[in-house]
């Protein structure tokens, strides 16, 4: 669906359907006088009297089909005192689903409908555009028997009575579009089956991003990774037939090439059987989503390619399958990591931290980062602790933890800080190596974060985001079909936009 802009007298506005929003027990039409100028019939249609403004209530009003704006969809926001950006996202998604149901070809939102909401107009427009696009996302590319693809409007317009469309609103809408492209790109990668979305497939996607947007892209192959001394990463990929790869993407607009980059590292296990410590078969098919961190990093670069942010950004994605094989790592094996530290592998299903530790070491050897942030579907323990709607953030300093948490809250990615206290490293101590890759059952998400912290240099600002819960959902939500959610893309994009703060 295209996003368009219409300006000038309300009588000149054109679309099949107008979309407006209203609060509970407040007059709807008084808030949007331009709409009544554009479609005077609304004031006399009885349907507008049915609008109470309850949260996500939908009222459809009809005029004559041959006049401009012959239909209006009104969606309730609930109590004004309880309004949040999440309220708006849900209301926009509700409106777009009604457009899909009615097969609306073109729709439009008057800017006046945002005028008295408790947020800046630019923020509201960005969130509305993003929500329109995300709520229409489907993953049906592999279906051959459906009668027709899911319907979407051809375009949606923002309507302004100004003679010149406001530049700040135009820019906000484009930000929403860019973010939506990044999130949907990540979703599509996570939703793809593991026989298609292999490490090679992710490498092809990275190269395509480089060609399209001019990013620098490197793909490090398995023999090179092994030769470098990435023994932890190799311990995971040597049991897989699919060749492992590490993707390195760099975004640096002119003038930023020598800046300290923000480095994002995404776990890319394209299918996780658990290896020799094999998982139960129930729900194993969902382990195609164990590359959601890598997908989010690639989604970030899709969004950056559609933005103009003068910031140097590096994305790193170690990608492999974790498979049982005659060459696979055995529980009890000891490997030497790129850092030189040794790890006793107690459980081969704790593989994410093994590929990440070498990738994190390599990132610090290759760059002097402003900060490193990794994203990984790392532990089931995190899901037990926080559920499926919230990710954990572990950070080496409180300012970085706050930036991630507050940014996520603003854009709809919820994070909760957990501690990095050294006492949680005790269960990881080994009799035969520098550390084990797992401890006991207690505090599993924190143990995993402490393991990764052993590979972060002194003074390096680092945050680990365990996104195991919200990265993949089995149930539909207003903004997402079942499957990959694209969680983390927007948080990363906003951190890039604002730069790393604090110290």
Q: Could you list the pLDDT tens digit for every one of the 503 residues in the chain?
A: 999 999 999 888 999 999 999 999 999 888 888 988 898 999 888 888 899 999 999 999 999 888 888 999 999 999 999 999 999 999 999 999 999 999 999 999 999 999 889 999 999 999 999 999 999 999 998 988 877 778 999 999 999 999 889 999 999 999 999 999 999 999 999 999 999 999 999 999 999 999 999 999 999 999 999 999 999 999 999 999 999 999 999 999 999 999 999 999 999 999 999 999 999 999 899 999 999 999 999 999 999 999 999 999 999 999 999 999 999 999 999 999 999 999 999 999 999 999 999 999 999 999 999 999 999 999 999 999 999 999 999 999 999 999 999 999 999 999 999 999 999 999 999 999 999 999 988 999 999 999 999 999 999 999 999 999 999 999 999 999 999 999 999 999 999 999 998 75
Beta strands in 121-179 (DSSP E): 155-159
Q: Assess if residue 171 is contained within a domain.
A: no
- Do 135 and 200 have their domain in common? no
Please give the Cα distance from 321 to 238 (Å, whole number): 9
Helix 121-135 vs helix 85-102: crossing angle, to nearest 10: 40
Active-site position among 89, 205, 353, 490: 353
The residues, ordered by sequence, that sit 6+ positions from 158 with a Cβ below 8 Å of its Cβ are 3, 4, 5, 6, 108, 109, 111, 125, 129, 165, 169, 173
Q: Assess if residue 476 is contained within a domain.
A: yes
Q: Assess if residue 174 is contained within a domain.
A: no
Half-sphere exposure of 101 (CA within 13 A, CB side): 9
Task: State pTM to two decimals.
Answer: 0.96
Q: Is 26 annotated as a binding residue?
A: no
The residues, ordered by sequence, that sit 6+ positions from 16 with a Cβ below 8 Å of its Cβ are 70, 71, 104, 105, 106, 107
| Residue where a domain terminates, one of 101, 132, 161 | 161
84: three-class secondary structure by DSSP:
coil
| Residue where a domain terminates, one of 130, 161, 192 | 161
- Do 227 and 349 have their domain in common? yes
CB 438 within 8 A of CB 378: no
The domain spanning residue 286 has which CATH number? 3.40.630.10
**How much is the pLDDT for 503?**
59
CB 225 within 8 A of CB 233: yes
Query: How many structural domains is the chain composed of?
Result: 2
Residue 149: give the domain boundaries. Answer: 2-161
Give Cα separations from 44 to 12, 16, 109, 209 (angstroms): 21, 19, 20, 52
Query: Where do we find the tokens 């990668």?
Result: 189
Q: Assess if residue 173 is contained within a domain.
A: no
User: Is 353 among the catalytic positions?
Assistant: yes
Q: Is 290 annotated as a binding residue?
A: yes
**Angle, CA of 91, 119 and 179, to the nearest 5°:** 65
Q: Assess if residue 79 is contained within a domain.
A: yes
CB 82 within 8 A of CB 121: no
- Do 146 and 46 have their domain in common? yes
- Do 14 and 60 have their domain in common? yes
- Do 124 and 196 have their domain in common? no
Please give the Cα distance from 473 to 489 (Å, whole number): 16
Helix 352-366 vs helix 444-453: crossing angle, to nearest 10: 30
Q: Is 374 annotated as a binding residue?
A: no
- Do 340 and 473 have their domain in common? yes
Please give the Cα distance from 228 to 62 (Å, whole number): 67
Q: Assess if residue 56 is contained within a domain.
A: yes
SS (H, E, C) 267-294: CEEEEECCCCCCCCCCCHHHHHHHHHHH
Please give the Cα distance from 225 to 98 (Å, whole number): 50
In 3D space, the residue among 419, 418, 417, 447 whose CA is nearest the CA of residue 435 turns out to be 447
Q: Is 453 annotated as a binding residue?
A: no
Q: Assess if residue 488 is contained within a domain.
A: yes
- Do 264 and 410 have their domain in common? yes
Active-site position among 55, 238, 279, 402: 279
- Do 142 and 185 have their domain in common? no
- Do 146 and 269 have their domain in common? no
347 C-beta neighbours (distance < 10 Å), count: 14
The domain spanning residue 21 has which CATH number? 3.40.220.10
- Rounded to 5 degrees, φ, ψ at 265 are -120, 125
In 3D space, the residue among 425, 219, 454 whose CA is nearest the CA of residue 357 turns out to be 454
Pairing state between β 106-110 and 155-159: parallel
- Do 244 and 154 have their domain in common? no
- Do 157 and 266 have their domain in common? no
**How much is the pLDDT for 141?**
87
Rg of the chain in Å (alpha carbons): 24
- Do 9 and 148 have their domain in common? yes
Please give the Cα distance from 210 to 298 (Å, whole number): 11
Please give the Cα distance from 216 to 208 (Å, whole number): 11
| Residue where a domain terminates, one of 109, 130, 161 | 161
Buried b / exposed e over 469-490, threshold 16 CB at 10 Å, is bbbbbeeeebbbbebbbbbbbb
Q: Is 54 annotated as a binding residue?
A: no
Q: Assess if residue 349 is contained within a domain.
A: yes
**Angle, CA of 457, 461 and 467, to the nearest 5°:** 105
């Amino acid at each position: 669906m295209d996003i368009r802009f219409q300006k000038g007298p309300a009588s000149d506005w054109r679309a099949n359907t107008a979309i407006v929003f209203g609060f509970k027990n407040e007059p709807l039409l008084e808030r949007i006088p331009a709409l009544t100028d554009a479609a005077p019939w609304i004031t006399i249609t009885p349907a507008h009297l049915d609008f109470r403004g309850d949260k996500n209530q939908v009222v459809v009003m009809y005029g004559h089909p041959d006049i401009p704006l012959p239909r209006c969809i009104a969606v309730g926001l609930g109590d004004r005192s309880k309004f949040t950006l999440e309220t708006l996202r849900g209301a926009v998604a509700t409106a777009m689903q009604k457009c899909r149901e009615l097969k609306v070809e073109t729709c439009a939102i008057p800017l006046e409908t945002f005028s008295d909401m408790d947020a800046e107009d630019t923020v509201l427009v960005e969130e509305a555009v993003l929500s329109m696009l995300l709520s229409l996302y489907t993953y049906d590319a592999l279906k051959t028997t459906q009668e027709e693809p899911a319907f979407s409007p051809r375009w949606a317009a923002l309507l302004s009575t100004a003679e010149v469309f406001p530049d700040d609103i135009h820019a906000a809408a484009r930000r929403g579009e860019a973010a939506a492209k990044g999130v949907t790109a990540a979703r599509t990668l996570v939703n793809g089956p593991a026989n298609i979305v292999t490490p090679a497939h992710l490498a092809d996607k990275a190269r395509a991003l480089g060609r399209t947007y001019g990013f620098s892209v490197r793909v490090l192959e398995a023999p090179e990774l092994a030769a470098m001394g990435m023994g932890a990463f190799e311990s995971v990929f040597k049991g897989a037939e699919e060749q492992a790869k590490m993707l390195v993407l760099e975004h640096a607009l002119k003038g930023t090439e020598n800046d300290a980059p923000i480095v994002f590292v995404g776990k890319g296990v394209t299918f996780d059987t658990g290896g020799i410590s094999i998982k139960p078969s129930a729900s194993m098919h969902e382990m195609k989503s164990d590359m959601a961190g890598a997908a989010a990093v690639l989604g970030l670069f899709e969004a950056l390619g559609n933005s103009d942010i003068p910031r140097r950004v590096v994305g790193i994605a170690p990608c492999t399958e974790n498979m049982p094989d005659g060459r696979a790592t055995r529980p009890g094996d000891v490997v030497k990591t790129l850092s030189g530290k040794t790890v006793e592998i107690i459980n081969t299903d704790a593989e994410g931290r093994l590929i990440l530790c070498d990738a994190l070491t390599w990132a610090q050897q290759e760059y002097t980062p402003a900060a490193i942030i990794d994203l990984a579907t790392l532990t089931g323990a995190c899901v037990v602790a926080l559920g499926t709607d919230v990710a954990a953030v572990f950070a080496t300093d409180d300012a970085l933890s706050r930036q991630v948490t507050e940014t996520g809250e603003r854009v709809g990615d919820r994070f909760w800080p957990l501690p990095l206290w050294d006492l949680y490293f005790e269960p990881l101590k080994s009799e035969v190596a520098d550390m084990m890759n797992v401890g006991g059952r207690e505090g599993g998400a924190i143990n995993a974060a402490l393991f990764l912290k052993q590979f972060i240099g002194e003074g390096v600002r680092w945050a680990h985001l365990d996104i195991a819960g919200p990265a993949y959902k089995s149930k539909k939500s207003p903004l997402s079909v079942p499957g990959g959610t694209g969680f983390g893309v927007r948080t990363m994009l906003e951190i890039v936009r604002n730069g790393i703060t604090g110290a």
